[in-house]
Each structure stands twice: as C-alpha cells, then as structure tokens.
Amino acid sequence: MSSETGDLEAIKQLKARYCRTMDTKDWQGMRALFADDVTVDTTESGGTVITGADEFMRFLREAIGDVTTVHHCHLPEIDLTAPTRATGVWAMEDMLRWPDGAEMHGYGHYHETYEKRGGSWRIVSSKLTRLRMDFGAGPTS
Amino acid sequence: MTAPRTLDDLLAIEAIKQLKARYFLFMDTKRWDEWRELFTDDVRVEGGPPHDSRDAFVDFVRRGLENVQSAHQGHTPIIEVTSESTARGTWAMSDDLLFPAGHPWAGTQPRRCGYGHYEEEYRRVDGDWKIASMRLTRLAEWDEAPPGTRGAPKGSR
C-alpha cells in the first residue's frame, strides 16, 4: 500500500495520544510524543513560546497539574510535505476546572508540524490559536 | 507513532471507526435493535454496572435512556489491529444527558455533562467487526443547568 495513508493514520493517532495523555496526566507518555527540540506557542492562551520538550512538560505540569482538563480535537487537515515531514491543523475544544471551582471553556485550532524520527512521528512545533475562551467563576449553585 | 503497516490494517481501522460511529448514532436515536448487532454475544462491559452478556447490557441501557435526551460523541480514536480478527482501541468521549424529572440516574441538575475515554476490544465475526469489550473511564462528570437557563436569576425557573 501507499505508505502515505499509513503515515496519515499514525499522525492522527499521535494527536489522539497528545489529548489523552494530557487529560489523564500521563506525563511520561506525553513527553514521548514530542521532539526534544519542540516549539510550543501558547501565547494566545496567555502563556509564552516554549522551546524544548522537557521545558514544555515542566510548564504544563505547573499549569494544569491539579486542574481537571478535557481536550477534544476534530477534523484534522494533515499534509505530508516530505516522506518524513508533515503539517497539520486540528479544530479543538477544551474545558478546564480548577480546584477552587473556576472554569474555562475554549475553542481554537492547533497548527502543527511533525517529523518522523527513528521510525516514529513526533510533534516538532505546535501553536494554539484561539477562537474563544469563556471564563466562569464556578459551577452553577 | 509508528504507522499501520498494511492496507488490510487500514481497512480494519476504518471499519472500526464506522462501528463506533454507529454505536453513538444508534444509541442517541434509540435504534436499539441495530445497536444490539454492534456487540459480540459475550461482550464484557465495565465502567458502570458490569455486564458480560449482550442482551442484558442492551436492555439496561435501553431502559436507562428511554426518556433521556442523550448526545454522545467520540473523538480521536487510536485503533491497533492485533490480528486478522482482533483489534483494540481507545476513544475520547463526551456525553450530554437531559433527564426527565425523577429519573434515577439524574443528579442535582436535570443535565449532566460527562467526559472520559472508552477502552475497547473488537472482534471480527463473519466478516463484521463488533465490540467485544468496552470499559469507560471518566475524567469528569458535571451536573449543569439545562441549556438556555444558565445565568438566569435564581428562582426564575
């Protein structure tokens, strides 16, 4: 078969693991999805541009370590630009609740690049652009 | 991630994605006879009350959802084909349930929004992929005000 179709499915599964490992707080599993020199742009969510997978994991554990998070991704647009390189755009929705009851419900798009290194696809860059972020003080009471 | 290796694997992955799509469609549109056909006879279910028989499980869900407006969604499947006739997978999921008054599954509000993951095994029976085991783990279940009423003054409902 064309290896391209297999690569497309592998990249979709890569992003599926990104959401699942983040929300289940499987930090070790999540770390393995990134290239060591990954760049993650979180500026539209109120963060910074972070370089390095270990640095990003440190940032994430601090930001959402004690937050209940749900991240859902939809409708991937994956382009294989070379046998070992690809770009992707994913629609996304996320729901966060902090221990004090504060909450955020957001929508946006992940803009990403991927590379196949050592036989496995990894995230090399990721920028989250936001359509909306709705903040609430807490659940209705 | 390592890429699926054969075209047969990719065809199986697509068939299993459509199997789960039917699971959500037939459940939320209450097409229970068609829903029943998606499972193996000996399906094992965990995550709510455990079941190890298809008919008992289908009856349990049918009775529970009979008067409930349910909307289930599945996202970002990770399907691994383990042989010609077996596979396993995980799905991110959400459900949004609107309960009638007095429903035994309802919480403090008539609406409950839930989020989690299905972990499943699949088996090919006479050419058709079916769900052979299903375990639902939850990230969160939040009782919510019904749509359109949130933020209304207290006592206005």
Spatial separation of the C-alpha atoms in residues B47 and B61, rounded to whole Å: 13
Spatial separation of the C-alpha atoms in residues A7 and B128, rounded to whole Å: 25
Question: Would you say residue B41 has pLDDT above 50?
Answer: yes
ipTM score of complex:
0.89
The reply to whether A97 falls in a domain is yes
The reply to whether A41 falls in a domain is yes
Provide the whole-model pTM.
Answer: 0.91
Domain of residue A120, residue span: 3-130
Predicted pLDDT at A108: 98
- CB pair distance less than 8 Å for A97 and B13: no
What does the pLDDT average to over B77-104? 96
- Cα four-point dihedral sign B115, B121, B126, B127: positive
The reply to whether A139 falls in a domain is no
- CB pair distance less than 8 Å for B139 and A10: no
- The alpha carbon torsion through B46, B127, B5, B7 (nearest 10 deg) reads -140
Q: What is the CATH number of the domain that holds A30?
A: 3.10.450.50
User: What percent of chain B lies above the pLDDT cut of 90?
Assistant: 86
The reply to whether A23 falls in a domain is yes
Q: Which of B78, B90, B145 minimises the CB distance to A140?
A: B145
Residue type, B12: A
What does the pLDDT average to over B30-59? 96
The reply to whether A135 falls in a domain is no
Spatial separation of the C-alpha atoms in residues B145 and A43, rounded to whole Å: 32
Test mutation, B1, B8, B115, chain A, max A CBs within 10 A = B1
Q: Which of B1, B90, B142 minimises the CB distance to A14?
A: B1
The reply to whether A136 falls in a domain is no
Question: Would you say residue B156 has pLDDT above 60?
Answer: no
The reply to whether A81 falls in a domain is yes
The tens-digit pLDDT sequence of chain A (141 residues) is 568 899 999 999 999 999 999 999 999 999 999 999 999 999 999 999 999 999 999 999 999 999 999 999 999 999 999 999 999 999 999 999 999 999 999 999 999 999 999 999 999 999 999 999 999 986 544
Count of domains for chain A:
1
CA distance A46 to chain B (A): 24
Find out whether B88 and B46 touch, Cβ atoms under 8 Å. Answer: no
Residue-range domains of chain B with CATH? 7-97+111-144 (3.10.450.50)
Find out whether B140 and A68 touch, Cβ atoms under 8 Å. Answer: yes
Query: pLDDT grade, residue B67 (50/70/90)?
Result: very high
Predicted pLDDT at B151: 58
Residue type, B155: G
